[in-house]
Amino acid sequence: MTDSNIIVGNSPTDLDMTRSQLYALDVVRRLRCQDKAIQKEYGDSLFFVEKDDQRLYPCPTGPKGSLTYPCVSGNCAMGESLCNAQSTNPYDADGAPVSPKPKKPYLEWHPDTKHPAGGRCVWGNSPMMQWCKYPAYRRTNSVRGVTDVPPFEYKPELGTCWITKPYCQWMEVDYKKQEDGVPTCYLKGAQKFFEKYVLGRTLLREIRKGGEDLKQLGDEFNKNHPSKHVIKMIDPKMMKSHKKIGPDFGGPGVHLYTIIWKDDAVKHDPNAYGGTVGVLSSEIKKKYPDLITRKDGLDWIDIDVVDAKKDKYVKRIYLVSTSGSWMLKNITSILEQAQKYGKDT
């Protein structure tokens, strides 16, 4: 062969070769979607999704302008039944990885009404699925509150984890579905109030474990602290005994106590009889001296709602000063259990 036999003007360029390969790939994709064996086994499970607006080549011209195969760019997509048939779960019923490792991938079918196939077959996030459904595998060792909790619900059609009612109950909070249908755990108003301002998270969640109705507790609490201003005797000299049940309840060094009054304490303060829950003037003096006043040679706390708005700890002191007896009746035993529970764990 000599150079005169080569017609340079008709030789394909690199661009021509690239375009022809892209055209060939689209032809193969379309032919795959016409696989009779697959269609027979799985029904209408292959869909050619046209994306001609993304075509990167001009349509080639055949004899007299005709083409053996259509010039359309796109992809061959699997339908739901074929997607599920090609998927393998890499974990057993207890969440442990299966052995040997599956050769087929873990696939998920994500419904999509806008897609010609009615959805999309995607690579699933199997580690997320394991973490969601099998809490024991969330850590390499056992961790309270992480590996011993009820499982979440894995939604394969979304590839996400959803909180469950048993998990919220385990956390001693309420469960609800939001406007978009996604569930969540939340605190009701009464529980949020008590956790934040009165006795903290540990106590109130112990109350819920005991089956107490927080709304009822909240209603009773409101009835028992109507006063916006209170003057109350808190002098240890008039106390028969006191026992610490809430460390640093009113801030560092200001603790919460169960208190038993001396018999003659009622002569000074008509509310100082029997038992109550409260604070000691000896501790209040050091941190909040402005809240202490002297009367009959004894220490009294003089506090109102204006003082309570200035500081979260003062707010706690205000609330217990107005409703100490109510708190003793409804909460003290549970608080002591919560304190013990905290030490044990």
Residues 198-211 have pLDDT tens digits of 445 544 454 444 44
Per-residue pLDDT averaged across 269-298, rounded?
Answer: 89
Binned at pLDDT 50, 70 and 90, residue 39 comes out as low
pLDDT band at 65 (very low <50, low <70, confident <90, very high): low
Whether residue 64 has pLDDT greater than 50: yes
- The residue ranking higher by pLDDT, 159 or 44, is 159
- Give the global pTM: 0.47
Would the pLDDT of 13 be above 50?
Answer: yes
Does residue 108 contact residue 157 with C-beta atoms inside 8 Å?
yes
Residue-range domain boundaries for the chain: 12-78, 83-186, 221-344
* Phi-psi domain of 269 (left: phi exceeds 0; alpha: psi -120 through 50; beta: other): beta
pLDDT the model gives residue 323: 67
Does the pLDDT of residue 61 top 50, yes or no?
A: yes
pLDDT of residue 134: 95
Mean pLDDT for the stretch of residues 324-334: 53
The residue ranking higher by pLDDT, 157 or 169, is 157
Q: Inform me whether the pLDDT recorded for 10 exceeds 70.
A: no
Angle CA 312–316–321, to nearest 5: 145
Residues 168-226 pLDDT 10s: 888 777 888 988 899 988 766 544 544 444 445 544 454 444 444 444 544 544 555 55
How large is the average pLDDT for residues 282-304?
Answer: 92
Average pLDDT (30-52) is 72
**In the predicted structure, residue 328 carries a pLDDT above the cut 70:** no
pLDDT in the model for residue 130: 93
Rounded mean pLDDT of the chain?
77
pLDDT over 70, % of the chain:
73
Mean pLDDT of 120-136: 91
Mean pLDDT (whole number) for 236-251: 87
% pLDDT > 90, the chain: 24
Predicted confidence at residue 223, as pLDDT, reads: 53
pLDDT tens column, 76-93: 777 888 888 889 999 999
